[in-house]
Amino acid sequence: MKDIALFLYNLTDNMAQPWIDAGYRVVMIDMQHPQGIHEHGQITKIGADIRNGWMPPREIIDRIAFVAAFPPCDHLAVSGSRWFKGKGLRKLALSVDLFATAAELCEWLGAPYLIENPVSTMSTYWRKPDYVFHPHHFTMLEPNDNYTKTTCLWTGGGFVMPPSCKDYTLAAPDDRIHKCAPGPDPGLGGIGRAARVCGQVDDPQPLKEHDEPAH
């Protein structure tokens, strides 16, 4: 039975909640969680560094239905390119290592997966993202996501990109995310809900940046 959603580098419950609502169990791994395994209802939070050889417990591997990874983007996002030189090679290498470890684990597990980052230098170091969208493309599912933030997904394992479902009754999307102080990523609210239909959407089409679905 495929009843577990696995989230890597995930501190908050934003992405987890839609899966819990749909009856899945969620396993979240992040170095910022307290060390060890902690049960919180339908969520298992694990404080671990997956670069140190962490693997999902054998008893859950065959139950993993979906994987999402959110590697830190601080030293990869092109929005911060003006500071690249001052950050040094070690910080860049760390960011690439975190991303690469997630990609390797996702591929090994074989489940549908997504790796989320903003527009970043991974397009050069690895490959271009499979999908690019803004949170406001999914406001029918999450009205609070009515803002702009160019978001890239690298996907595999049979992942199916849900079609956009924008709520045109809302005001024009704002740019709040560009004014926020650094902190935990707010997650992928709308597409988090949409991703539950992974593998069940017929003939999905990639969303290109700034594409607007037909009314």
List the pLDDT tens digit at each of the 215 positions of the chain.
899 999 999 988 888 888 999 999 999 999 899 999 999 999 999 999 998 888 888 889 999 999 999 988 765 544 444 444 555 667 777 888 889 999 999 999 999 999 998 877 788 888 899 999 999 999 998 899 999 988 999 999 999 999 999 999 999 999 887 666 555 554 565 666 566 544 433 333 333 433 443 33
Query: What pLDDT is stored for residue 204 in this prediction?
Result: 33
Residue where the block lists tokens 């298992």: 44
DSSP H/E element including 100: helix 89-109
Query: What pLDDT is stored for residue 146 in this prediction?
Result: 93
42 within domain boundaries: yes
Which burial class, exposed, middle or buried, applies to 94 when counting CB atoms under 10 A from its CB (0-12, 13-18, 19+)?
middle
Query: What pLDDT is stored for residue 37 in this prediction?
Result: 93
For residues 119 and 13, give the distance between their C-alpha atoms in angstroms, rounded to a whole number: 23
CATH number at residue 177: 3.40.50
For residues 154 and 60, give the distance between their C-alpha atoms in angstroms, rounded to a whole number: 24
Query: What pLDDT is stored for residue 188 in this prediction?
Result: 63
CA–CA distance from 213 to each of 113, 152, 165, 210 (Å)?
A: 24, 18, 8, 10
Main-chain dihedrals φ then ψ at residue 149, nearest 5 degrees = -165, 105
Predicted model pTM: 0.80
Query: What pLDDT is stored for residue 121 in this prediction?
Result: 76
175 within domain boundaries: yes
The whole domain housing 62 covers 4-197
Dihedral through CA 117, CA 141, CA 42, CA 53, nearest 10?
-10
89 within domain boundaries: yes
Question: DSSP string spanning 103-127?
Answer: HHHHHHH-S-EEEEEESBTHHHHT-
Query: Are 166 and 137 contacting, i.e. CB atoms less than 8 angstroms apart?
Result: yes
For residues 27 and 44, give the distance between their C-alpha atoms in angstroms, rounded to a whole number: 5
Provide the 3-class DSSP secondary structure of residue 175. Answer: coil
157 within domain boundaries: yes
Residue where the block lists tokens 């090679």: 89
Beta strands 151-156 and 113-118, pairing class: antiparallel
Query: What pLDDT is stored for residue 181 in this prediction?
Result: 55
If one counts the domains in the chain, the total is 1
207 within domain boundaries: no
213 within domain boundaries: no
124 within domain boundaries: yes
18 within domain boundaries: yes
